[in-house]
Chains A and B, each alone.
Chain A
Amino acid sequence: MLKVEGVSTFYGNIQALRQIQIKVKPGEIVTLIGANGVGKTTTLKTISGLIRASEGRVLFNGQDITAEPPHKIVEMGISQVPEGRCVFPRLSLRENLEMGAFIRQDKETIAQDVEQVFETFPQLKGRDRQLAGTLSGGEQQMLAMGRALMSKPKLLLLDEPSMGLAPMIVVEIFKIIEEINRQGTTILLVEQNAQLALKTAHRGYVMETGQVVLQGATDTLLNNDQVRRAYLGEG
C-alpha cells in the first residue's frame, strides 16, 4: 500500500532523514518507534507532503506521490493526525469533524459519518457543540483521530497519540486504534511509547538519528535484546 523508498529529507542544511525504507501493507498496523528527535515526525510529514523529500520516492498504491502537495495526498486517501493533536480550538466538536470531511463531495453522508465517529469514540458523544479547545488532552486526541477518519482515509498516519496523556487514557486510545484498524483502515503509528506500540502493531521499524536501524514483526522486536534494553527499559 505504502512504500517509502530511500527517502532523505533535509531542514536547510541539516539532514533529518537518511535513506528511509518503510513498507505498509493493506490492513496492517505498522509502528515506527524511536527516541525523541530521531526523525519520526519528519518521516510522516514527508509521506503526507508537508515536507519535500530531497531524495527517494514515496509510493502509495503504486502511484508516486513524492512531489504531490498535501491536499492531493489527502484526496488520494492518506490522512494524518499531527503531533500534538492540533484540533481547531475555537470550533465545536461537530465543526471539527465536518472540517475533516473538507475534501469530500458526498455531502449527504457526512452527518452519518459524524455519528459513526461518535460510535467509535463514545466519550465524545453528545458534546457536539462543545468547543474543541475546552476538551481534555485525551478527548482532543480522540477528536483529532475522528476528524482524520472523516476524510475516509485508506491509510491513517498517527503521530504520537500517547503524547502527554495519562496511562489509562493511552490504553483506551490504543484500543480504539485497534478497533479502527479492524474496521478496515491501515495504520502507520509513530510512537515513543514502544511497549504499547509494539503490542498493538503487527510490524515495527526502529529509528535512530534519521535512519531505520531495525525492523520486523512486533513479536520479534519485543524479544530483541537491543530493543528491550533501549526502548523497553529492561535488562
Chain B
Amino acid sequence: MLSPYYIQLVILVGINTIMASSLNLIIGYTGQLSIGHAAFMSIGAYASALVTVHFNFPFIASLLFGALVATLFGLLIGAPTLKLKGDYLAIATLGFCEIVRIVFLNLDITGGSVGLRGIPKKTTLLTVVVAVLITIFVLNRIINSRIGRALIAIREDETAAESMGINTTYYKVICFGVGAFFGGLGGGLFAHFFRFIQPNSFGFMCSIEHLCMVVLGGMGSMWGAFIGATAITAIPELLRFLGDFADYRMVIYGAILVIMMRVRPQGIIGQRLSADQVSIGEKLFNRWAGMGTGGKRG
C-alpha cells in the first residue's frame, strides 16, 4: 500500500488540483488576472474548521459551509473589482488576500497568529478524489455551457462580448463566485487533513503557487490545471532526493518555472496560437521579468 508520505502527497495534489482548476476558470477561461486565490482557500478553511470544532457539523456540511462562505466573499470581492482590468485587478485581488490574512491574524475566534488547532482529521484520500472529480465535472459543465461561452467571450474581448449582448458584469460575478466556491472547498479539505491552520499558510506565496499551477499547466485547459498542480506539488518533493543538492531545490524549482515560461509560455498543455499572438503566460513572464511588452490590458 501507499505509505503515509505518498498519501499526503496525493491528497495535496488533489487539493491543489481543485485550487488550480477553480482559479483556471477565473484566469484561463475568463481572462481575469486574479492573484488572491489563497484568500478563498483561507476563508473556506477557517469557516469549515470553525463549524466543525464549535458546532460539530458533519464533515460534508462543514465543507459546504466553508465553500459557501468563500462564495459569498467571492461575490463581494467580485462586484467592486469587476471594473478593473489586468494589472489593476491583480493588485486588488492581491490586496484582498492580504486583508483576509491580516483579519484572521487578529481575530480571536481564529486563534490569531497561533492558528487554529485541534481540527478533527476527516479528509481522506477518498474524499479528496471524490471532491476533485466533482470539481472537474462541475467546472467542465460550466465551461461547456452558455455561461462558459460568455466567459470565454469576455476573455477574448470584453467590449465585443458586451456588443454581443453578454452581460459581462453578471458573468464575471458568477465566475468569481464559482471560483471562490471551489477555492473554499479546497480550503476545507486542507483544514480537515492537516488539522491545523494558520493565516500565513494562505498568504501571497500560496496564491502565487496557484497561479504558477495554472500558467505552467496551460491556461484554459482542465487537464492543464491538473498537470500544473501535480508538477508544482511534486517537483519540490522529488528534488528532495537530490541528496547533497537538496539545499538548492527551491532554486532549481524556480529555474524550472522560468525556463518553462520561456520555452513553452502557453503551458504544458494549451496550444500556441500563432507567432504574432502573445499568450497570457508570455505576458506574465515579460511583465514580471520587467521587460514590459504587455499593454494595460492583461
Q: How far is the CA of A99 from the CA of B148 in the complex (A)?
A: 11
Q: Please give the distance in Å from A190's CB to the nearest CB on chain B.
A: 14
**Contact bitstring B162-187, A, C-beta under 8 A = 1, else 0:** 11111100000000000000000000
| CB nearest to B160 among chain A residues | A86
Contacts of A99 in B (CB 8 A): 149, 153, 161, 164
Q: How far is the CA of A80 from the CA of B162 in the complex (A)?
A: 10
Q: Please give the distance in Å from B228's CB to the nearest CB on chain A.
A: 19
**Contact bitstring A55-86, B, C-beta under 8 A = 1, else 0:** 00000000000000111011100011110001
Contact between chains at B162 and A50 (CB < 8 Å): yes
User: Is A88 interfacial (CB 8 A cutoff)?
Assistant: yes
A-B contacts counted at CB < 8 A amount to 70
* Contact of A70 with B156 at beta-carbon distance under 8 Å, contacts A90-B277, A133-B277 already known: no
Number of interface residues of A (CB under 8 A): 30
Dominant secondary structure of chain A at its interface with chain B: mixed
Q: Please give the distance in Å from A143's CB to the nearest CB on chain B.
A: 11
Contact between chains at A87 and B165 (CB < 8 Å): no
Contact between chains at A151 and B164 (CB < 8 Å): yes
Number of interface residues of B (CB under 8 A): 19
Contact between chains at B160 and A71 (CB < 8 Å): no
Q: Which of B149, B156, B163, B277 has most A Cβ within 10 Å?
A: B163
**Contact bitstring B219-236, A, C-beta under 8 A = 1, else 0:** 000000000000000000
User: Is A91 interfacial (CB 8 A cutoff)?
Assistant: yes
Q: Please give the distance in Å from A74's CB to the nearest CB on chain B.
A: 3
**Contact bitstring B254-289, A, C-beta under 8 A = 1, else 0:** 000000000000000000011001000000000000
| CB nearest to B156 among chain A residues | A88
Contact between chains at A71 and B162 (CB < 8 Å): yes
User: Is B237 interfacial (CB 8 A cutoff)?
Assistant: no
One of A81, A82, A87, A102 near B166 (C-beta < 8 A): A102
| CB nearest to B279 among chain A residues | A90
Contact between chains at A87 and B163 (CB < 8 Å): no
Q: What residues make up the interface of A, taking CB atoms closer than 8 Å to B?
A: 48, 50, 69-71, 73-75, 79-82, 86-91, 98-100, 102-103, 131, 133-134, 144, 147-148, 151
